[in-house]
Structure 1
Amino acid sequence: MAEHCAPTFEGLAKSLGFSCEEAGGLFELRSPLALENWTLPVLETTIILGSILALVWAVIRLRRHGDPTNLVLWFGATAYLFVIEPPLYFPAAFGISEHVDTMFAHNVFTVDFLWGRLPLYIVAIYPFMATIAYELVRMLGVFRYGALAGATCVGFVHHAFYEIFDQIGPQLRWWEWTTDNPLNQPMFDSVPLPSVVVFAALWPMSLAFCVYRFVGRRVDAGEQFTGVQLVWRTLVIGLAASAGTFILPLPATVLGAGSTTVRGVIYALELIVLSAVAVWLMYRQWSRLRQPGNTEPRYDNAFVRVYAAVYLVVFAVLWATALPDFFNAKNGITENGDPIGNLWYTLACFAVGILSVAAVSFRPATGSHDAGLTPALAGGDS
């Protein structure tokens, strides 16, 4: 697809070790042993397996308990992916090349789509990460305070899990950013700050809000849906979450127009406020659950509790193996010429991830705890 090999993308592709003009077609399969390094197949196996298991669990949840929330969440996140990603890969084809240049390029993986633009693991990571974050917050019971409260916490937890991945990707050559693209400014070490805020925190917040408002709270109230109702609600959720991703960053987009510094400060403030509110809500609910005599039924998702821990262990190993090159880097660049992320920020994200998993794994026992068979309590937002 040489006609869509924009100069910027071609430059990123060559830097990653492949040619845009020779990159497959709609679908390409290659040996995992032929990839850039051993971390690429480990990454895609972890994410793709997790996404498949999340889908299987969502189907089981629907069939056994009549709860379609997880299935709508999974497909809603996938719908969001196909609204957001293609224009970023082919701005010329969508008529936006005068306004949006290539922002990044993925390396080639075992399974790729769209002429080397879209690895299968990227398709999988949207519903996988959304499921992990949403279910951890749902198990903790934060949605009892309403859709916005729960969604804020989902954005916070998703941000932590995502940044563990986001901060190491460029160093391990999973992708490469166009660092001089205005849409990627300001940079936070090797990651654009807009990615840290918008794609790690605000889009999952938007998605979670829509899922809970359109489906989750109604399921908690005992409502049932037909197949047609679930299909159109899922499509609406994908579109509405996309709109939310445009609306939530507007303060930085509008007030920061013309000034990278101002835009960066506002992005950072948005993330700080979201994090502060989420920490307060999650701690408040965690403390409430541990009060003596609290016997309310608890929603549980054993798959998420276990696989979230697996994810953290896998990425701890990936980070540990990357540390020698990280510490030998000069001016933020390794000897191989790859940019490094922010280790301290990543450690903070690991701490949030570990505490989130621990909070739902070591809850005090109650007389009505049912190991995942009882629906979540209805939220206060009805």
Structure 2
Amino acid sequence: MSDHCAPTFDQLAKSLGFSCQQAGGLVEFRNPFGLENWTLPVLECTVILGAILALVLAIVRLRRGDPTNLVLWFGATAYLFIIEPPLYFPAAFGISGHVDTMFAHNVFTVDFLWGRLPLYIVAIYPFMATVAYEIVRMLGVFKQYGAFVGAVCVGFVHHAFYEIFDHLGPQLRWWEWSTENSLNQPFFDSVPLPSVVVFAALWPMSLAFCVYWFAGRHADRGRSFTGLQLVWRTIVIGLLASLGTFILPVPATIAGSFSTTAGGFLYAAELIILSVVAATVLFRQWQRLRQAPADTAHYTNNLIRYYSAAYLAVFALLWATALPDFFNAVDGKTSNGDPIGNLWYTLACFAVAILCVIATFTVQHKATRTTPALATV
């Protein structure tokens, strides 16, 4: 599909080692052992398996009368298909005069849309959204503080898990950013700061708010939904979450159009405020659960607890194998010319993610199965 090979995407594709003109079609399959390096199929397996398990969890929970996970899973997927295609094909959507290609994914075992959309990217949206939402839900934040504060905490937890992945991808050639695109400015080492804030924290915050408002709070009260009600709520959640992604960073977006420095300052300020609020709330809520009577019922989710720990273990291994090239990098690039992320920031995200997972385990002994909606999976 050479007519969709914009010059920027073509350049990024070549630097990643594949040809835009020869990139598949609507769907393309490749030998997983013939990819750029061994980390690509490991990444695929980890994320896709996580998404499948999250979907199974959602179906099980739906049968028990709680549609929240299913709405979350498909709401995140709806968000993906609203947001991503215009970024891949700005000319086809009539926005090429305002939006140039921002990044290009490398080719993976399964790709869609002429090499633009790997299957694992489709999976990572519902997978990470489920991990973050369920961790916050297990700590009782939504029930104690409501939709907005709960959503802030989801954004914070999602950010920690996502940035572990985000700061490693460019070095291992999972994707490449366009360094000349003004929408990617300023960069935080190998990652655009707008991505660090908007796609790692603000979009899951927007999604979580919509999911809890349209489904979660009603399910907690025992309300049931028809199939049609779930469908329209899921579609609305995807649309409103997309809208929220544009609204939440508006101050930084406007400032960035005049000054990259000012835009970067406001992006960082938004993330810092979100992080301070969320960290305080999560710690206090964890303390509250620890001090609750032993017979108090708490929502639990064994699948997410254990798989989130497995995710962190896999990424600890991936980071460990990448460290030799990382430490030998010169001027922020490895000997292969690949940009490196920020190790200290990644370690901080690892610490937050690990603490969040530990928090869900340390209230496990207080959980009970007396209520169907609280049943452990």
Give the structure-2-normalised TM-score.
0.97
Q: Deviations over 1:72-110 (max 9, x none)?
A: 000000000000000000000000001000000000000
Q: Which amino acid aligns with 2:58?
A: A
Kept in 1, the 8 Å contact 2:297–2:370? The answer is: no
Matches within 5 A, 1:67-82: 67-82=66-81
Aligned residue in 1 for 2:41: 41
Q: Deviations over 1:284-324 (max 9, x none)?
A: 10011111536421001111001000000000000000000
State the 1:251 CA deviation: 1.1
Kept in 2, the 8 Å contact 1:220–1:375? The answer is: no
Aligned residue in 2 for 1:380: none
Matches within 5 A, 1:95-110: 95-110=94-109
- Where structure 1 has 5 or more consecutive residues not aligned to the other structure, the ranges are 377-382
Aligned residue in 1 for 2:239: 239
Aligned residue in 2 for 1:128: 127
State the 1:8 CA deviation: 0.4
Find the aligned partners of 1:25 and 1:355 in 2 and give their Cα distance.
43
Matches within 5 A, 1:141-180: 141-144=140-143, 145-180=145-180
Q: Which amino acid aligns with 2:304?
A: V
Q: Deviations over 1:202-243 (max 9, x none)?
A: 000000000000000001111110000000000000000000
Kept in 2, the 8 Å contact 1:89–1:102? The answer is: yes
Kept in 2, the 8 Å contact 1:27–1:112? The answer is: yes
Kept in 2, the 8 Å contact 1:300–1:371? The answer is: no
Find the aligned partners of 1:38 and 1:326 in 2 and give their Cα distance.
17
Aligned residue in 1 for 2:217: 217
Aligned residue in 2 for 1:351: 351
Aligned residue in 1 for 2:332: 332
Matches within 5 A, 1:150-299: 150-291=150-291, 293=293, 295-299=295-299
Q: Which amino acid aligns with 1:77?
A: A
Q: What value does the CA root-mean-square deviation take over the aligned residues?
A: 1.2
Alpha-carbon spacing, 1:336–1:209, altered in 2? closer, same or farther (3 Å): same
Q: Secondary structure at the match of 1:257?
A: helix
Deviates more, 1:101-110 or 1:283-292: 283-292
Q: Deviations over 1:37-92 (max 9, x none)?
A: 000000000000000010011101111x1100000000000000000000000000
Q: Which amino acid aligns with 1:262?
A: A
Give the structure-1-normalised TM-score.
0.96
Kept in 1, the 8 Å contact 2:158–2:201? The answer is: yes
Alpha-carbon spacing, 1:176–1:371, altered in 2? closer, same or farther (3 Å): farther
State the 1:364 CA deviation: 6.0
Find the aligned partners of 2:9 and 2:371 in 1 and give their Cα distance.
46
Find the aligned partners of 2:83 and 2:292 in 1 and give their Cα distance.
46
Aligned residue in 2 for 1:379: none
Matches within 5 A, 1:9-88: 9-63=9-63, 65-88=64-87
Find the aligned partners of 1:303 and 1:292 in 2 and give their Cα distance.
24
Find the aligned partners of 1:181 and 1:372 in 2 and give their Cα distance.
52
Find the aligned partners of 1:241 and 1:259 in 2 and give their Cα distance.
27
Kept in 1, the 8 Å contact 2:66–2:373? The answer is: no
Q: Could you tell me the percent identity over the aligned residues? A: 74
Alpha-carbon spacing, 1:292–1:3, altered in 2? closer, same or farther (3 Å): closer
Aligned residue in 2 for 1:115: 114
Find the aligned partners of 1:95 and 1:293 in 2 and give their Cα distance.
59
Aligned residues: 374
- Where structure 2 has 5 or more consecutive residues not aligned to the other structure, the ranges are none
Aligned residue in 2 for 1:2: 2
Alpha-carbon spacing, 1:58–1:364, altered in 2? closer, same or farther (3 Å): closer
Find the aligned partners of 2:371 and 2:243 in 1 and give their Cα distance.
33
State the 1:151 CA deviation: 0.3
Alpha-carbon spacing, 1:371–1:47, altered in 2? closer, same or farther (3 Å): farther
Kept in 1, the 8 Å contact 2:102–2:183? The answer is: yes
Kept in 2, the 8 Å contact 1:298–1:372? The answer is: no
Kept in 2, the 8 Å contact 1:333–1:339? The answer is: yes
Q: Secondary structure at the match of 1:112?
A: strand
Q: Secondary structure at the match of 2:176?
A: strand
Q: Which amino acid aligns with 1:85?
A: E
